[in-house]
Structure 1
Amino acid sequence: MNLLIKESPLQVLPSLAMEVGLNAAVLLQQLHFRSLISTNVRDGHKWVYKTYEEWKNEEFPFWSVDTIKRAIRKLEESGYIISTSQYNRMKMDKTKWYRINYTMLQGQSVQLAPSMTAESPQEEVQIAPSTEGKMPLAITKEVKSIKKNLVENDLDVVSVIEYLNDKANKQFKASSKATARLVKGRFSEGYTVADCKKVIDTKAKNWLDDPHWQKYLRPSTLFNATNFENYLEESRVSDLPESSPPKPLELDFSKGEA
């Protein structure tokens, strides 16, 4: 049985994932692709319009609607995408229109490429040529020169920090050198992404609803070398089935001495 790709793959650059988070990077890259082939031009920009349900059904069937909402909201709040409902024909229609803020992306270490005309020269970026029927190559020369070490371990770091942000409602950046160093330090000791997520689950369960302890749901506490081992052991103990307490010894005093 062939388990390799037989359909158009979703793409994500490690450097983009480090900058905005893994889920947001996947969504942003797919929005870029849809923008390249969009025919919806308003005010000199190409737009993509979809409901959250359409994003799920047509683009990301492996995500929940809530996950998609969080990724879009994160990109909106950080200014990477611009959204509006003003182009809908009916006021009651709340379908959102989206476009990428390429000007902001040009200032980052990763650049996507717009397909805009001369009406918006401030957003032009050179892109590699594409052929009909193939996904356009939105990778610039600068992106191609990214060092080889921005791959497997870094994506694991992104996965862990995204999981922490989702569980604890935080906004830590996997691109932070201090954060990445902490998580990679645990990887170097033989711990896995699953181990990190177990620690996050355990401490989120213990601390999330406590105003005092909630602030310690942070990389510097969870992935500290000494703390991590203790927290992981705590998670393992919590996974053990509860055993019934030993039955108390009952003495029968009615029989007297033998």
Structure 2
Amino acid sequence: MTGDAGIRAVAVLDDELRRGMYRFIRAARRPVTRDEAAAAVGISRKLAAFHLDKLVDAGVLQAGYQPVSGIRKVGRAPKVYQPVAADIRVSIPPRQPDLLADILVDAVLSGTQSDDSDNRDDSDNGDEDGRERDGQVRRAALRAARRRGHRIGAAEREQARPGRLGAERALTLTAAVLGRHGFDPDRGSSTCLRLGTCPFHPLADRAPELVCGINHAFLAGLLDGLGAATVEAVLDPHAGECCVELRARRG
């Protein structure tokens, strides 16, 4: 849970009573009734219901009706609450470490395993073999990043059904997609889209060549998936901004 949803979740948990009930429900590891939540923080059932519904509205808890321990002979099952299966994280500007992690895991799983001969101890060729393995991993990461970008772009195109995209319309659609992924897009002109933040920062500071390459491949794949052939992703680093700029293709 990130972005605006994460901010709403953090805001609703700023209340001490809600925070106490939320901690109690998480620790219970089972659906909890209003009576149990109320008793846990020492308030009335009616007041507990108010706060629990606020937590549900903010996406922190989910509610339902189901039997709990014991036998109820009359009436319907009580309303119960349990945590949603999502982490709560807030970053301003928003970051995307999960996206980068997914890309790297995909790269590892997509065919970077060496055959048995790669694992032999060869002192004469050790450095050369190491460089080759590093190159294989990098290429796999770039392929994985491009595939991930393509999937996101293709899904957006399927939903929006924009038809043929000229450069200006392609940049507008791309800006909307990237805004949801933490890139902070800025239309400097009708033919250029600057990305105000790097969603992979501060990881980009640690390995700029690798991370910027992954970012570039991801954005190129996104454009391809969107069918935005009139726009290209260009590496053009600027201090404090994303390393990639999206530009209308010449001609």
Normalization by structure 1: what TM-score? 0.25
The structure with more strand, counted as a fraction of residues? 2
Normalization by structure 2: what TM-score? 0.26
